Amino acid sequence: MTLTSSHFISLLPLLLTAATPVLIMLLIAFKRHHGLSVALSLTGLFLALISLCWVADQTPRSITSLLIVDNLSWFYSGLILLCALTSVGLTHSYIKGFLGNKEEIYILLTIASTGALVMVSSQHMATLFLGLEILSVPLYGMVAYTFRSSHSLEGAFKYLLLSATASAFLLFGMALLYAELGTLSFSGISGALSAEAFGKSPILMAGAAMMLAGLGFKLSLAPFHLWTPDVYQGAPAPVGGFLATVSKVAVFAVLMRFLAETPVGAQERITDIFSVIAALSILVGNLLALQQANLKRLLAYSSIAHFGYLLVAVVASNSLSNEAINLYLIIYTLSTLGTFGVVTLVSSPFNGQDTDHVSDFQGLFWKRPYLAIVFTIMILSLAGIPLTAGFIGKFFIMSAGVTSHLWWLLAALVIGSAIGIYYYLRVIVTLYMNTPIKQSMRYKGFSFNGVILILLTATVLFIGIYPQPMLDLLQAAGLGIQ
């Protein structure tokens, strides 16, 4: 096909994001300057975000058979870029003054963001895998970037080895689908295959199952979750936030597209597998979180449960499902960025591990009241307490489940949420104990990142109290109920 100016306009967010690490590398080649590297990162990502205004007029548009720019990719590109911008700001606050090289982490972060943008626009197995690897490989280095203890190195190696295994499963699953169908594009698979024929072919079933196992690892769904707590604990706090948001949003977005455009999602056996994985993720994630004294490990297990909740809406597959999934992903990213943001602002790459033990936050309210309030609201949102955005997200997930009569999955969701309230409230109580705060806790006063946390908190409260504008936004983006 002939590429026109309209195609390049559609690709602007991806092109600008991909150009950003190249410019940072050129800057480093001439002179290392932390401030300029941060400025370049923020400028490139911000321009990519602004360019979505022009992209909106070009949708839907296919760019060769590999990429498509439509409402789904447009919306999730915006969400990914917002998360990446926040992560750059938090990373600057965290790594400022680090004795080692600081600039390379922004190269890794922007390359990973590029991979995420490729994934949400994928309509072909080749770009799905390419985007996944562009996203994953920089994360290995980011997890161990400020290596200070065995936890960081262990987390990075574990993520590298298990991620390679998951990629092998994904590739082999793609190979089985190609061997049977002779195509790797989502539309080609849909055109060459009916739901009935899919169920009768063991090769196709095996290929789809292996692909879902590979994507399940990236989403840390049970039983593919074993890497998650170690990686979250070992990673620097802002990297943990990036991994929990950008990485998972991109993978879930491409999974939604794959299920929507191929007959795989309509297959009863696949739906049964998703149901079991959803229940396991909800129960395993919440039960294991009960035992955690390390905050980042607790958030890791919590994320496993949250993506189990999302799978309930995937299994429901009704008119409410898409809106429930999209709304819940937005709320999850806001709340998770807020919690990791607080951990980032009180942590440092100089004093061994991050300030991530629950006991480290005892009495935070009496020393840093605004941080404690932000942390409280974000934790309440993750718990799904009324008047926070998390409650609205869970309400829509449950509505989708009720509409499809998924009673046993809803029972798992209710039980898991009840367990979650216990360990979330345990963290909140710690913040308000009349106990001296850890003396080594790092915080230099109110900053630009503090403004970001307050904006995130205000958004979480606004959606919880008055969700209609966000629902209208989803409808305008073609991702809600019309």
Q: What is the pLDDT of residues 235-292, one digit of tens each?
A: 889 999 999 999 999 999 999 888 888 877 677 788 888 999 999 999 999 999 998 9
The reported pLDDT for the residue numbered 482 is 41
91 vs 113: CA distance, rounded Å: 14
Burial class (CB in 10 A: 0-12, 13-18, 19+), 472: exposed
The reported pLDDT for the residue numbered 385 is 93
Q: Is residue 277 part of a domain?
A: yes
The structure tokens 């942390």 sit at 375
Binned at pLDDT 50, 70 and 90, residue 438 comes out as low
The reported pLDDT for the residue numbered 146 is 76
Buried b (16+ CB within 10 A) or exposed e, 48-62: bbebbeebeebbebb
Q: Is residue 306 part of a domain?
A: yes
Q: Is residue 437 part of a domain?
A: yes
Q: Is residue 283 part of a domain?
A: yes
pTM of the model: 0.92
Question: CB within 8 A of 407, min separation 6: which ones?
Answer: none
Report percent pLDDT > 70 for the chain.
92
Give the residue ranges of DSSP H helices in 320-467: 321-345, 364-367, 369-383, 389-403, 407-431, 448-465
The reported pLDDT for the residue numbered 89 is 92
Per-residue pLDDT at 23 exceeds 70: yes
Per-residue pLDDT at 350 exceeds 70: no
Per-residue pLDDT at 199 exceeds 70: no
Q: Is residue 282 part of a domain?
A: yes
The reported pLDDT for the residue numbered 319 is 79
The reported pLDDT for the residue numbered 477 is 66
Number of domain units in the chain? 1
Q: Which of 336, 475, 321, 316 is nearest to 407 (CA)?
A: 316
The pLDDT mean for the chain works out to 87
Range of the domain at 452: 267-482
Per-residue pLDDT at 99 exceeds 50: yes
Q: Is residue 9 part of a domain?
A: no
Q: Is residue 331 part of a domain?
A: yes
Question: CB within 8 A of 313, min separation 6: which ones?
Answer: 320, 321, 324, 325, 328, 396, 397, 400, 401
138 vs 121: CA distance, rounded Å: 20
212 vs 216: CA distance, rounded Å: 6
Q: Is residue 154 part of a domain?
A: no
Cα→Cα distances 132→102, 118, 254, Å: 25, 8, 10
Taking 3-state DSSP, the helix, strand and coil percentages for the chain, each rounded to the nearest 5, stand at 75, 0, 20
Binned at pLDDT 50, 70 and 90, residue 441 comes out as low
Binned at pLDDT 50, 70 and 90, residue 1 comes out as low
Express each pLDDT in 122-163 by its tens digit: 999 999 999 999 999 999 999 988 766 667 788 888 899 989
The reported pLDDT for the residue numbered 393 is 94
